[in-house]
Structure 1
């Protein structure tokens, strides 16, 4: 397994002067990075590590509550699309996807993911960000957010601050991607207006599951348009770049954000960009970070929190390859985005057919 230095793009250069030749170069680098790797690192001067730390502290406190307290925030009747998703509820997609199994079978033995035999031990919380559509065929995917009783005074402020930061950053990347492909700058951002965007931290209890080789999140791709992450306090993320099948550890430097391509972006580009496969497991580096945390933060909850945000195409938009991309109607037939999401949620056991 290797450690990869992903391409870095500077959103600040683009925001300063969108017509500057250097900004256009950054846009082209964005498109190339997502085509070649399915992922990139982005610098956005509006997003700070201090804000990320405040957010992670809140999540650690929330997930360290008793099981029954957190369960009050679950909404299984709408596929857990807002509120909390308990551990051992979300099943890695590969369990039901022959194509995914085929991809693994073609990998060199040393680059294959760890194969889980059941649902992930991670928890998740979905907090809705952005304007809700006035009308939608998919109300399950566009529900009002859930505010936990124990955090009513601080939750909306911190979650909205962090979520809006991540939202504006990833929409900026979507704009740069549009320009990088020679499209009008608003092409991809407009498709995401009124999308069911989610600030979506995952959480794994390292007191229970902090053992070498434990799979926190099994091999999968993201089903949305673009995913953006802040830096986690505990390493363990592996990706499989498109330009090779080598299992790769990802290091997110301080002050950077990680962006990954999702299935909706693959659909819109007709496979020009493919959704990036990844997993989260407990590694030697994770164990070292656990030891360090017990020394430097002895009175804090020991949970691995991912600072994750999912940018979605609006549920009522038709998902199909844009004209500039060679389309394959067999692989990417026209479909309402809401229907695409519902099908994916069925495959990971969060929504019934």
Structure 2
């Protein structure tokens, strides 16, 4: 099964045309049904994804003693490097996740998580506003530019900015798709602390089928967006986790997944997507081909997490024609966005 493809050019050309409004409705329906979509954005050059991955491969290939200089535990590893085996998947110890897994048919369940993720992660803040004095430290922190990467800032900000721009457009389309004001969701995220957070998994070391690179989890973000990786391995669970899908992002497309913040503000009308990254038989084939061609064996994701503004409250808004989950106000209580982020970071061993 392929994910629906949402074309942003229809909205960008004429947001009020019949074709655009139909695409907005398709976006809302697809996120309800799958929790994930493929996106075509004519503003995003796909060669930028390739250049970004090139840079991150070179970064992750550096010696450990060089990489550890970029670790910043004092801000919950939000920016700089998260070392391997630091991040623990939420579903390793969360009773709610156990219930989610138990409800999945046995043959479609995720791999059993036995420890922390072996992947590395690098965080770089992409925020459209200057931090204020009162901003939460871990949400306004920024990493230093690593030595030896002259294009670091331009590539990080270029790719990250393109991803934020795409999410902004999607948020406006989602408002229209629900027959609401197009600023309903956009106003929540326009000054958010968006985080470019590419992962790196060393396939020189982790090359066996069924090795977990990122254990079964949801994202704490509003929407997660990224381009195509050079190695397959991402699996998502759609339609209330009833359908297990190995993701193949079409050429020229981006992948967008609903995060927990979007689930929260829609009162569960849209559910955060669960997913895992593992070494599959197709991953092994890609490893073998990369070895023949002398390419890097680091699996890099070009991921950006978009966020609701930290000083806004997370709480369900009324979605016309949709009731959300039963007892939504109890399941999604009013909570400051930055308090929610801190709670989630603590739950995955990134904030003490």
TM-score, normalized by length of structure 1?
0.95
Return the alpha-carbon distance in structure 2 between the equivalents of residues 336 and 43 of structure 1. Answer: 32
State the 1:135 CA deviation: 4.3
Return the alpha-carbon distance in structure 2 between the equivalents of residues 349 and 242 of structure 1. Answer: 29
**2:263 counterpart SS class:** helix
Which residue in the other structure is 1:125 paired with? 122
On the 8 A contact 2:221/2:259 being kept in 1, the answer is: yes
Within 5 A, what are the aligned runs for 1:110-259?
110-130=107-127, 131-151=129-149, 153-259=150-256
State the 1:170 CA deviation: 1.4
Return the alpha-carbon distance in structure 2 between the equivalents of residues 100 and 244 of structure 1. Answer: 11
On the 8 A contact 2:290/2:296 being kept in 1, the answer is: no
Off by >4 Å, runs of 4+ in structure 1: none
Return the alpha-carbon distance in structure 2 between the equivalents of residues 334 and 243 of structure 1. Answer: 24
Return the alpha-carbon distance in structure 1 between the equivalents of residues 140 and 168 of structure 2. Answer: 19
Which residue in the other structure is 1:316 paired with? 311
Within 5 A, what are the aligned runs for 1:252-267?
252-267=249-264
What stretches of structure 1 of length at least 5 have no aligned partner?
none
Per-residue CA deviation, residues 164-201 of structure 1 (Å, 9 max, x unaligned), is: 11110111111111110111112211111221101110
State the 1:137 CA deviation: 4.7
**1:216 counterpart SS class:** strand
Change over 3 Å in CA distance of 1:244–1:134 after alignment to 2: closer
On the 8 A contact 1:318/1:337 being kept in 2, the answer is: yes
Return the alpha-carbon distance in structure 1 between the equivalents of residues 222 and 62 of structure 2. Answer: 32
Return the alpha-carbon distance in structure 1 between the equivalents of residues 303 and 281 of structure 2. Answer: 23
Return the alpha-carbon distance in structure 2 between the equivalents of residues 194 and 139 of structure 1. Answer: 16
Which residue in the other structure is 1:98 paired with? 95
State the Cα RMSD in Å.
Answer: 1.2
On the 8 A contact 2:104/2:241 being kept in 1, the answer is: no
TM-score, normalized by length of structure 2?
0.96
On the 8 A contact 1:127/1:146 being kept in 2, the answer is: no
2:325 is aligned with 1:350 = no
State the 1:154 CA deviation: 1.3
Which shifted more, 126-135 or 161-170?
A: 126-135
**2:271 counterpart SS class:** coil
